[in-house]
Chain A
Amino acid sequence: MFEIILFATVKVIVVVAAVLTGCAYSTLLERKVVGHMQHRIGPNTAGPFGLLTPIADAVKLIFKEEIVPSNVEKLTYLLAPMISFVPALLTFAVVPFGKDNNFFGRDVALVLSDLNVGVLFVFAVTSLGIYGIVLAGWSSGSKYSMMGAVRSSAQMISYEVGYGLSIIGVIIIANTLSLSELVTIQTGPLWGTFSFLPNWFIFSQPLGFLIFLTCAIAETNRAPFDMPEAESELVAGYHTEYSSMKFSMFFIAEYANMIAVSAVGTTLFLGGWDGPFLDSLPMLSVVYFVIKVFLFMFFYIWLRATFPRFRYDQLMAFGWKVLFPLALLNTLITAFVVIL
Chain B
Amino acid sequence: MKDILRAIGNVFFKMPLGFVVTLKHLFKKPVTLEYPKKKKPMAPRYKGQHYLERYDDGTERCVCCGLCAAACPSDCIYMEPDENEKGERFAKVYEINQIRCIYCGFCEEACPEEAIFLGQEYEFSSADINSFVKTKDQMLVAHPRKENPFKKLLRKARKVYGTVDK
Contacts and interface: CB of A to CB of B under 8 A. Distances in A.
Given A38-B25, A39-B28, 18 more contacts: A33-B26, A36-B27, A36-B30, A39-B25, A40-B30, A41-B32, A44-B34, A210-B11, A302-B22, A305-B22, A306-B19, A306-B21, A307-B18, A318-B7, A321-B3, A322-B7, A326-B4, A326-B7
For the complex of A and B, the 4 pairs showing the least CB-CB separation, nearest first, are A322-B7, A306-B22, A321-B3, A39-B31
Main secondary structure of the interface of B (DSSP, over half): helix
A41 B26 contact: no
Nearest to B7: A322
A33 B26 CA distance: 7
A333 interface: no
B164 interface: no
A172 interface: no
Nearest to A308: B18
A40 B30 CA distance: 5
A302 B23 contact: yes
Given A36-B30, A41-B30, A306 B4 contact: no
Given A317-B3, A326-B4, A39 B30 contact: yes
A171 B104 CA distance: 76
Contact of A321 (B4, B22, B23, B27): B4
Interface string A6-36: 0000000000000000000000000001011
Interface string B122-158: 0000000000000000000000000000000000000
A197 interface: no
A11 B155 CA distance: 70
Contacts of A39: 25, 28-32
Nearest to B24: A37
B96 to A, nearest CB: 37
Nearest to A321: B3
Nearest to A303: B19
A271 B15 CA distance: 25
Contacts of A306: 18-19, 21-22
Contacts of A325: 4
Contacts of B29: 39
Interface residues of A, number: 20
A327 B23 CA distance: 29
A318 B4 CA distance: 9
B19 A302 contact: yes
Nearest to B23: A302
Contacts of A305: 22
A51 B146 CA distance: 40
Contacts of A44: 34
A36 B32 contact: no
27 contacts: A36-B26, A36-B27, A37-B22, A37-B23, A37-B26, A39-B28, A39-B29, A39-B30, A40-B31, A41-B34, A44-B34, A210-B11, A302-B19, A305-B22, A306-B18, A306-B19, A306-B21, A306-B22, A307-B18, A317-B3, A318-B3, A321-B4, A322-B3, A322-B7, A325-B4, A326-B4, A326-B7
A38 B29 CA distance: 10
A301 to B, nearest CB: 10
A145 to B, nearest CB: 31
Contacts of B7: 318, 322, 326
Contacts of B4: 321-322, 325-326
B4 to A, nearest CB: 5
Interface in A38-55: 38-41, 44
Interface string A299-329: 0001001110000000001100110011000
Contacts of B22: 37, 302, 305-306
Contacts of B11: 210
Interface string B6-42: 0100010001001101110111111110100000000
B26 A40 contact: no
A191 to B, nearest CB: 24
